[in-house]
């Protein structure tokens, strides 16, 4: 009975996302492919994968985007409000590009995910920066976080809604445009790592 209730709840909360065809979405970055769950039917209002090792990769990518939008002060703990933002942003992308907005979002993630970053190694009393490859799970985390941070920070600078700012950020990142906050952050991280090789 409880399983049926949670199933009904998940589909009644997130019905709009099922209209986008996930079968036509292509993930070209094979490193990220294993960690991107394109399921839009089984979104849950709760942390069923919390406190499990590598369980983040089982969470649908759209739910992870919703959860990252909830990091900000206006949306903290307001999942339905955050879901409506994502839904409206995907509809804006659909109207402007006339293509599957999920493909645009996946392209944005692939372009915003840094491949290299720096860590600090201690030799005696000094610490030296050293370039290291980024794990695929972390690459995805950084990309989602920067897309959300970029869209939220863009709303402070102008009168656009968060939906329009999120749609703009995703579309710019999908084109690998340096005007995108997430792509600019990725380029900064990789530039610093290149100098620390």
pLDDT at 44: 64
CA atoms within 13 A on the CB side of 32: 25
Number of structural domains, the chain?
Answer: 1
Q: In the structure encoding, which two tokens stand for residue 161, read together?
A: 């809604």
As a residue count, the chain comes to 197
pLDDT at 75: 81
Q: Which residues contact 18 (CB under 8 A, 6 or more apart)?
A: 11, 40, 41
CA nearest 11: which of 103, 19, 166, 57?
A: 19
Percent of the chain with pLDDT strictly greater than 90:
44
CATH number at residue 142: 1.10.455.10
Is residue 1 scored above 50 in pLDDT? Answer: no
CA nearest 151: which of 197, 85, 55, 64?
A: 85
Is residue 6 scored above 50 in pLDDT? Answer: no
- pLDDT band of residue 12 (cuts 50, 70, 90) is very low
pLDDT at 192: 92
Tell me how far CA of residue 110 lies from CA of 26, 27, 31, 77, 114, in angstroms: 11, 8, 10, 28, 9
Determine the average pLDDT of the residues in 35-47: 73
70-125 pLDDT tens trace:
887 778 888 888 888 999 999 999 999 999 999 999 999 999 999 999 999 988 88
Which domain, by its residues, includes 62?
A: 2-195
């Amino acid at each position: 009975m409880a399983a049926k209730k949670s199933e009904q709840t998940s589909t009644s909360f997130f019905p709009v996302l099922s209209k986008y065809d996930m079968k036509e979405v292509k993930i070209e970055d094979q490193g990220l492919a294993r960690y991107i769950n394109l399921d839009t039917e089984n979104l849950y209002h709760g942390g069923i994968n919390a406190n499990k090792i590598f369980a983040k990769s089982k969470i649908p990518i759209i739910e992870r985007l919703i959860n990252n939008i909830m990091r900000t002060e206006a949306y903290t703990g307001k999942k339905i409000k955050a879901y409506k933002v994502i839904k409206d942003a995907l509809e804006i992308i659909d109207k402007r590009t006339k293509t599957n907005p999920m493909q645009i979002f996946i392209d944005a993630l692939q372009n915003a995910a840094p491949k290299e970053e720096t860590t600090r190694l201690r030799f005696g009393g000094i610490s030296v920066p050293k370039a290291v490859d980024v794990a695929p799970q972390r690459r995805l985390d950084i990309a989602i976080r920067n897309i959300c941070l970029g869209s939220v920070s863009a709303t402070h600078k102008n009168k656009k809604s968060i939906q329009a700012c999120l749609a703009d950020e995703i579309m710019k990142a999908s084109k690998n445009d340096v005007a995108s906050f997430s792509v600019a952050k990725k380029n900064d991280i990789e530039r610093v790592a290149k100098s620390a090789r």
